[in-house]
Chain A
Amino acid sequence: MPVPAGAGRPVWQHRSTRARLAGWFGWLMFVALFVLCWQVMTKDTIWSFVLDAPQQAADIGSRMVPPRWSYLDRLWWPLWDTLNIATLGTLLGTVIAVPVAFLAAGNTTPSRLALRPLALLVIASSRSINSLIWALLLVTIIGPGVLAGIVAIGFRSIGFVGKLLYEAIEEIDAGAVEAIEATGASRWQVIDYAIVPQILPAFAGIAVFRWDINVREATVLGLVGAGGIGLQLQASLNVLAWPQVTMIFLLILATVVLSELISAKVRHAII
């Protein structure tokens, strides 16, 4: 920032006039873009449907209450499946993600030119596909059921855990690594003594966080036939059994709240 002299004294401004004008112009373009997008988005909207939305919502709402509590007996088993899909899927994803993260981190990768881009590609492709779509693919490949759900959750978790973990690896204190290298330690000993202790809290936090997300994601996998409580949801929706749908929602809500509590507790204990 230049400091022009005005009235014999140096004047300081955070931005120059030019930068300020550019800033306002940027905001103007942003608003214009928003208006344009709004028009494109609402071109095909049938406004009469939107206008009676409150009545429709009230109608469905009235059919949804009270929840059918007796249906709960048939939900425990699918819920158990859902939790297993989430837990085993997280385990699978994490086990694959750890080596991938070490290959992807700039300070631990054995080869910047070949392995690092490959590991980053694995992470990006895993992240770019939603669990539901992974499940859709896997149900056609390995058939419907819990296994497809586990693998789908696992594949999606590789990218998430891998990305956050390799960022954690890149942020470690290089001094400790240098010190362990200076003792004559081998590459694996450096990982074991200097790197692992530093990333362990981050790793535990990431894994538990992903498990928490996976519990939520596993609840919908049944919609495409990959097992769990989503199967029941699909069945109930198909026969318009709204009180059962409410029951499932309540159960999912309770599960998610519980898993969030558990993950918060675990993370707090570790860090």
Chain B
Amino acid sequence: MLRIEGLSKRYRAGVPVLRGITLEVPAGQVVGVIGPSGAGKSTLIRCINRLVEPTTGRVSLKDIDITALSRRRLRQARRRIGMIFQEFALVERLSVMENVLSGRLGYVPFWRSFTRRFPQADIEAAFALLDRVGLSDFADQRADALSGGQRQRVGIARALEQNPDMLLVDEPTASLDPRTARQIMRLIREICEERGLLALINIHDVLLAQQFVQRIVGLRGGEIVFDGPPAGLNEAALTRIYGEEDWTAMRRAADDAPETGEERSEERMAGLI
């Protein structure tokens, strides 16, 4: 389980990006973090694995205080925290397999990773994951040969190759078309259920968030202004997070275009679900 206490972040001589975030997420829960651009969503998840050093506050995962770890111990802690990015953040010139195997870098010594001789168990796990995300035939392709949706699947496989306890997901669908975005969100949600993973998902699309997460945290100006189940995200809550807007119209438009059963069966045939 993840516990964040009084987390604040202020970049040099600027206004604070995060102000005293306190949040507790039980194991296996999938949380969507929503909020306007600049609300501190990306900074929040980067403070958890200390890609960004928090100014004050504590972050602990399974009773390990991550904020107090030395560099060496931090690397060990990061192995159990998978991360998925908006722009996929693959190494474009490496093969899909190398990208997935890079999820094991924290576990293997430098020479093995340098000569690309990973333990057989890691390679088998990578093949199984590629199969799970529907990319079994792409292991030897270069990452830059893939489409956006395929790249994000490689990103997911890389994060899972770490055998993580938790996923940090930063805008996984912002660079994808609406259909692919839904497929990716569904994949992430299913994988979290299969493995009992805790996940923190930054997401812009409120409707997508409502459909695929169990709990929603709304951030505004670096503070939590909403925390509850997706169903509790009413007009008042949306206004509190984003400001004044005709939210009823947004919902009505969404209701007019519901997801069809046909779409789902197509995806199933393509091996995407």
Contacts and interface: CB of A to CB of B under 8 A. Distances in A.
Interface of A: 173, 175-176, 178-186, 188-189, 192-194, 197-198, 200-201
A183 B113 contact: no
Given A189-B105, A193-B94, A197-B94, A184 B79 contact: yes
A85 B266 CA distance: 64
Given A183-B83, A185-B106, 17 more contacts: A175-B87, A176-B89, A178-B89, A179-B155, A180-B105, A181-B51, A182-B49, A183-B106, A183-B162, A184-B79, A184-B106, A188-B114, A189-B105, A192-B114, A193-B105, A194-B91, A198-B93
Nearest to B102: A193
A167 to B, nearest CB: 18
26 contacts: A173-B89, A175-B89, A178-B89, A180-B91, A180-B105, A181-B78, A182-B51, A182-B83, A183-B83, A183-B103, A183-B105, A183-B106, A183-B162, A184-B76, A184-B77, A184-B78, A184-B105, A185-B105, A186-B75, A186-B105, A192-B114, A193-B105, A197-B93, A198-B92, A198-B93, A200-B93
Interface in B41-69: 49, 51
A254 B83 CA distance: 55
A88 B168 CA distance: 49
B91 A198 contact: yes
Interface-centre pick from A175, A178, A182, A186 (highest chain B CB count, 10 A): A182
B113 A189 contact: yes
B256 to A, nearest CB: 36
Interface in B72-102: 75-79, 81, 83, 85, 87-94, 98, 102
A182 B91 contact: no
Contacts of B155: 179
Contact of A180 (B76, B79, B102, B110): B102
B220 interface: no
B9 interface: no
Nearest to B76: A184
Contacts of A186: 75, 105, 110
A183 B76 contact: no
Interface in B106-120: 106-107, 110, 113-114
A89 B76 CA distance: 43
A182 B83 CA distance: 7
B158 interface: yes
Contacts of B81: 182
Interface of B: 49, 51, 75-79, 81, 83, 85, 87-94, 98, 102-107, 110, 113-114, 155, 158, 162, 168
Interface of A is mostly: helix
Contact of B83 (A176, A179, A185): A179
Given A183-B103, A184-B78, A176 B91 contact: yes
A189 B91 contact: no
B110 A188 contact: yes
B110 A189 contact: yes
Nearest to A201: B93
Contacts of B77: 184
Contacts of A181: 51, 78
Contacts of A179: 83, 85, 89-91, 155, 158
Contact of A183 (B78, B110, B114): B78
A185 B102 contact: yes
A176 B105 contact: no
Nearest to A179: B89
A188 B75 CA distance: 13
Contacts of A198: 91-93
Contacts of A180: 91, 102, 105
B143 to A, nearest CB: 10
Nearest to B94: A197
A56 B227 CA distance: 90
A83 B104 CA distance: 45
B102 A197 contact: no
Contacts of A173: 89, 92
A183 B51 contact: no
Nearest to B81: A182
Nearest to B106: A184
A184 B103 CA distance: 8
A197 B155 CA distance: 17
Contact of B78 (A182, A189, A194, A197): A182
Nearest to A189: B105
A175 B51 CA distance: 11
Given A179-B85, A192-B114, A185 B75 contact: yes
Contacts of A189: 105, 110, 113
A175 B86 CA distance: 9
Nearest to B105: A185
B105 to A, nearest CB: 4
A188 B106 CA distance: 11
